[in-house]
Amino acid sequence: MYPSNYLAFLHYFHVDRDYFECHEVLEHEWKKQPDPDRLSPYVVLIQTAVALYHERRGNEKGAKILFHRVLTRLQTRSFQLNQLGIDEQQLQLDLQDHFNQIGTRPFIDYDLPLIDKQLLATCKRHAQGEWGKKSPLNEEQLVHKHLLRTRKT
């Protein structure tokens, strides 16, 4: 029903809380599209994950820039995120709230507002009780992921 890369994105987002890996895996899905452009709902989700990654790392400026881009996209047109099981209006409200609080409180993981009950049940089943909890990865793995990876040539 949903692409495997999207399901992997949801797992990284809600279980590992590895927003860097979210970007990596969903970018593969985005680039598979016949005409990948910045109007894809995948771009909204990728940029949301990258904004959260920057925020977690303490890069408030980078986080604000990306949250602003996502919010501008969501305010100017619909991305049909409901087709991916996400409440687009709630996402916009949540991200605006998140944006407004950057720098005023410690970093808080975010849960996407999933509205497809079957999708949510599938994700939770595969997460084996870890859905929505604190990441099993250590802070070093989450904050410096881009520095720790090895690129394949």
What's the pLDDT at 59? 92
Instruction: Name, in order, each residue with C-beta under 8 angstroms of 56's C-beta and a sequence gap of 6 or more.
Output: 19, 107, 142, 143
In percent, the amount of the chain with pLDDT more than 90 equals 60
What's the pLDDT at 141? 58
What's the pLDDT at 11? 93
CA distance 112 to 114: 6
Residue 153 lies in a domain: no
pLDDT digits (tens, 9 = 90+) for 16-33: 888 988 888 998 888 887
* The total number of structural domains that make up the chain: 1
Q: Taking all residues of the chain, what is their mean pLDDT, rounded to a whole number?
A: 86
Q: Residue 21 belongs to a domain with what CATH number?
A: 1.10.3450
Q: Averaged over 63-92, what is the pLDDT?
A: 94
What does the DSSP 8-state code read for residue 102? T
In which band, very low, low, confident or very high, does the pLDDT at 72 lie, cut at 50, 70 and 90?
very high
Residue 97 lies in a domain: yes
* 55 residue type, one letter: E
Of the two residues 35 and 56, the one the predictor is more confident about is 56
Residue 47 lies in a domain: yes
Of the two residues 131 and 6, the one the predictor is more confident about is 6
Domain encompassing residue 101? 4-148
The token duo for 49 is 């994950």
What's the pLDDT at 133? 66
